[in-house]
């Protein structure tokens, strides 16, 4: 709409008859503020010039209306200039400036304005504090937030519905959930935003049961309530609850339906559980509702499909994005997907396509790229891109990049070079770096460097039993049983519990989980009977049990028995017993797949004519016709 038509003719007539009356100008600025667009800003500047040309100075009241217009149009410079033109600024003027800077400026400036308002002896009100408290949360200043809270108490505003909710939200975001809960319990009147803020706080610190109790008690729920719960469950690793709540929202509610944020919140739960069937259902719903047109949803679908083992669907989602929506996040998701599936060359091609379109890579880009090179054995190409991160792309290498390069060199057996890189790092090497080196030393039986890496890890991660077990296994390989017993004593003495191997697979929309040696599944007897007969069948095809991964001083028969109860074997056996021939089996494991299971699945894929896709903690393994997609380089 042209600027000339924004103001009603009657208002302009009043101004023409009495141009010196500030209230006429105030009315016009208030009307323009309702539009808050470029045309309104342009006409507001003309009115401001009209005022100055007549030798008039804005009063505190008029300046507040002018500042409100400038702030609504994000012209903070013009708004702030008014503060210097008014000798006695009002609370209204400060409120307009505080609101504008909180929405469009920096939180630090907003807090300085609040301090200036306080210094002038002006009393903040219920319009002031929500924005001030929001800025306290943005700068993560609990001290400033508590000072603002104290002032609210002094002014009797603590239990104002908007101010109280803002205080709760500030405490939540500053990590003080106890203070947030105390205020919430004292509030006699709460709106849905108060409940939502506290639920988000409990989810943030991992108190999912307390969040669930609040959710159940809520007298009224909105889309934010449902989405906060689903997102919180997904982020805290309680994927089954996230998906269950999404189902309840979708099928049992008529007043609240998922929006694009809800879809984005539940998809990571599908990815965590590798629940491909469930993810496809969500995709269908999003498509029917038109929610998948949102590029954020499409990128979330890409990530879900990639982590559920369907690289083809992830690629289709990527190709379905408009060119304008293929930003660095979309490209990073695709590069990471290729890397996760061991497609290092495809990750490199995507990286170069991204560059050709003028999109600047960031730290996440290089993490995905270097990981892909590591899993594909592209050592020289990986080193080349790592060495030019800073000089060519202005990306400072971080801990995760060094960990990828150590892994890259370690997988190739270049352990001395990997150790030298760690020694030359400009930052202190963390657990991910030393862990990559220790894993490589275990693979290549380098006890000397492995001991160095393990000792560093013992100091950095004293409660991580995996590091003790790896070194113990290395000692056992060379028959140093005294050191093995010493490490076992350390583990026992510190009461360190070993992370159990857990694998899961999806069947008819339900996720079935298995622990190593677990017999609690309803079909356990059938599964174990199948696994007892399996070695006989595949040994005829050349399978030899890799008992080296069971480094205990027990007989070979006992070692072979231990191998058959690994969680990933239980999951694959369950899949073979419960799906028709030709069905792809998809299994996810929380740890790294063991060498014997890797070998067994190659033989199983050939003997049973099945494609088996296993996602472990590092990558995907696609077994088909006796071959794994990793090329045994993992």
Instruction: Write out pLDDT tens, residues 281-321.
Output: 999 999 999 999 999 999 999 999 999 989 999 999 999 99
Query: How far is 446 from 222, CA to CA, in rounded Å?
Result: 58
Name the band, by pLDDT with cuts 50, 70 and 90, for residue 16.
very low
β-pairing, 510-515 with 620-624? unpaired
Domain ranges of the chain: 502-628
Residue-level pLDDT at 408: 96
**The residue to which tokens 């083992």 are assigned:** 309
Q: Would you list the DSSP string of 105-139?
A: S-HHHHHHHHHHHHHTTPPP-TTTHHHHHHHHHHT
User: Percent of the chain having pLDDT more than 90?
Assistant: 65
- Looking at residues 518-531, what average pLDDT do you find? 92
How confident is the model over 154-175, as pLDDT tens digits?
A: 999 999 999 999 999 999 999 9
Name the band, by pLDDT with cuts 50, 70 and 90, for residue 496.
low
Q: Taken in order 573, 579, 580, 585, is the CA torsion positive or negative?
A: negative
Range scoring the smallest mean pLDDT among 9-23, 63-77, 345-359, 459-473: 9-23
Name the band, by pLDDT with cuts 50, 70 and 90, for residue 591.
confident
- Looking at residues 46-58, what average pLDDT do you find? 82
Which ranges constitute the DSSP H helices of 377-430? 379-387, 389-393, 399-411, 415-424
Name the band, by pLDDT with cuts 50, 70 and 90, for residue 41.
confident
Residue-level pLDDT at 94: 93
261: Cα separation from own chain's centroid:
14
pLDDT at 421 over 90: yes
Residue-level pLDDT at 378: 95
More confident residue, 224 or 55: 224
How confident is the model over 562-583, as pLDDT tens digits?
A: 667 889 999 999 999 999 999 9
**Cβ-proximal residues to 229 (8 Å cutoff; 6+ apart), any chain:** 199, 203, 211, 212, 215, 245
Q: Three-class SS of residue 510? A: strand
250 neighbors 225 (Cβ within 8 angstroms): no
Q: Three-class SS of residue 325? A: helix
pLDDT at 554 over 80: no
Residue-level pLDDT at 524: 93
Residue-level pLDDT at 559: 44
Range scoring the smallest mean pLDDT among 32-41, 103-112, 183-192, 337-346: 32-41
Say what the pTM is.
Answer: 0.83
pLDDT at 556 over 50: no
Residue-level pLDDT at 537: 84
Residue-level pLDDT at 542: 82
Residue-level pLDDT at 251: 77
How confident is the model over 329-379, as pLDDT tens digits?
A: 999 999 999 999 999 999 999 999 999 999 999 999 999 999 999 999 999
Residue-level pLDDT at 321: 95
More confident residue, 343 or 18: 343
More confident residue, 84 or 627: 627
- Looking at residues 200-222, what average pLDDT do you find? 94
Name the band, by pLDDT with cuts 50, 70 and 90, for residue 7.
low
- Residue 93's alpha-carbon distances to 38, 68, 110, 122, 312, in angstroms, are 22, 8, 13, 11, 57
pLDDT at 553 over 60: no
pLDDT at 18 over 70: no
pLDDT at 442 over 80: yes
Tokens of residue 73, six digits: 């149009």
pLDDT at 522 over 90: yes
Name the band, by pLDDT with cuts 50, 70 and 90, for residue 497.
low
- Ranked by mean pLDDT, the top range of 429-438, 473-482, 595-604 is 429-438
Which of 504, 93, 71, 536 is CA-nearest to residue 309?
504
Query: How far is 458 from 460, CA to CA, in rounded Å?
Result: 6
- Looking at residues 59-86, what average pLDDT do you find? 89
**In the chain, what are the helix, strand and coil shares in percent, each to the nearest 5?**
65, 5, 30
Mean pLDDT of all residues belonging to the chain: 89
Residue-level pLDDT at 3: 42
- Looking at residues 20-35, what average pLDDT do you find? 75
Residue-level pLDDT at 409: 97
Kind and range of the H or E run holding 622? strand 620-624
- Ranked by mean pLDDT, the top range of 18-32, 53-67, 387-401, 457-471 is 387-401
Residue-level pLDDT at 87: 83
- Residue 27's alpha-carbon distances to 23, 36, 86, 101, 396, in angstroms, are 6, 15, 19, 23, 53
Residue-level pLDDT at 252: 72
Range scoring the smallest mean pLDDT among 55-69, 256-270, 431-445: 55-69
pLDDT at 118 over 50: yes
b/e 152-191 (16+ beta carbons within 10 angstroms → b): beebebbbbeebbbbbbbbbbbbebbebbbebbeebeebe
399 neighbors 433 (Cβ within 8 angstroms): yes
Residue-level pLDDT at 618: 83
Range scoring the smallest mean pLDDT among 29-43, 345-359, 369-383, 488-502: 488-502
Query: How far is 27 from 479, CA to CA, in rounded Å?
Result: 90
Query: How far is 366 from 348, CA to CA, in rounded Å?
Result: 10
């Amino acid at each position: 709409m042209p600027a000339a038509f924004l103001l009603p003719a009657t208002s302009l007539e009043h101004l023409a008859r009495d141009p010196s009356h500030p209230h006429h100008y105030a009315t016009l600025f208030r009307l323009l503020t309702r539009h808050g667009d470029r045309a309104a800003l342009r006409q507001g500047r003309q009115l401001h010039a009209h005022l100055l040309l007549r030798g008039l100075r804005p009063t505190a009241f008029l300046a507040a209306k002018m500042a409100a217009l400038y702030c609504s149009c994000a012209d903070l410079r013009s708004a702030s200039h008014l503060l210097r033109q008014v000798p006695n600024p009002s609370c209204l003027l400060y409120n307009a400036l505080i609101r504008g800077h909180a929405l469009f400026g920096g939180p630090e400036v907003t807090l300085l304005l609040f301090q200036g308002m306080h210094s002038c002896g002006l009393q903040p009100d219920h319009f002031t504090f929500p924005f001030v408290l929001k800025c306290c949360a943005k700068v993560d200043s609990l001290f400033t937030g508590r000072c603002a809270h104290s002032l609210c108490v002094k002014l009797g505003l603590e239990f104002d519905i908007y101010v109280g909710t803002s205080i709760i939200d500030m405490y939540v975001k500053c990590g003080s959930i106890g203070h947030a809960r105390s205020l919430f319990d004292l509030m006699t009147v709460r709106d849905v935003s108060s409940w939502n803020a506290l639920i988000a706080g409990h989810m943030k610190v991992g108190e999912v049961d307390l969040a669930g109790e609040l959710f159940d008690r809520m007298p009224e729920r909105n889309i934010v309530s449902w989405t906060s719960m689903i997102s919180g469950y997904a982020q805290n690793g309680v994927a089954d609850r996230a998906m269950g709540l999404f189902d309840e929202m979708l099928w049992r509610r008529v007043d609240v339906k998922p929006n694009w944020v809800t879809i984005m919140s539940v998809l990571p739960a599908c990815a965590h559980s590798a629940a491909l069937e469930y993810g496809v259902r969500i995709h269908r719903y999003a498509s029917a509702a038109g929610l998948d047109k949102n590029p954020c949803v499409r990128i979330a679908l890409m990530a879900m499909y990639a982590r559920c083992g369907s690289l083809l669907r992830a690629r289709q989602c990527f190709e379905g994005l408009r060119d304008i929506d293929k930003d660095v996040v979309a490209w990073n998701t695709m590069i990471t997907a290729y890397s996760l599936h061991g497609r290092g060359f495809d990750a490199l091609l995507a990286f170069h396509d991204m560059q050709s379109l003028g999109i600047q890579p960031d730290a996440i880009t290089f993490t995905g790229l270097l990981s892909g090179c590591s899993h594909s054995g592209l050592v020289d190409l990986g080193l080349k891109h790592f060495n030019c991160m800073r000089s060519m792309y202005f990306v400072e290498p971080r801990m995760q990049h060094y960990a990828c390069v150590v892994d890259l060199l370690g997988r190739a057996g270049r352990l001395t070079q990997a150790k030298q890189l760690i020694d030359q790092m400009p930052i202190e090497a963390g657990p991910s770096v030393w862990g990559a080196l220790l894993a490589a030393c275990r693979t290549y039986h380098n006890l000397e460097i492995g001991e160095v890496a393990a000792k560093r890890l013992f100091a950095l991660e004293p409660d991580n039993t995996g590091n003790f077990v790896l070194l113990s296994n290395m000692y056992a390989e060379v028959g140093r049983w005294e050191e093995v017993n010493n490490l076992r004593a350390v583990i026992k003495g510190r009461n360190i519990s070993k992370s159990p191997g857990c694998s899961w697979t999806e069947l008819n929309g339900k996720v079935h989980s298995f622990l190593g040696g677990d017999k609690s599944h309803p079909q356990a007897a059938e599964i174990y009977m199948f696994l007892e007969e399996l070695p006989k069948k595949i040994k005829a095809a050349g399978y030899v049990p890799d008992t080296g991964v069971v480094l205990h001083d027990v007989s070979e028969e006992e070692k072979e028995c231990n191998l058959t109860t690994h969680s990933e074997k239980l999951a694959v056996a369950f899949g073979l017993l419960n799906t028709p021939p030709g069905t792809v089996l998809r299994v996810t494991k929380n740890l790294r797949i063991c060498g014997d299971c890797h070998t067994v699945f190659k033989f199983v894929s050939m003997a049973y004519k099945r494609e088996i896709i296993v996602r472990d903690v590092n990558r995907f393994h696609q077994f088909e016709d006796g071959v794994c997609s990793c090329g045994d380089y993992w």
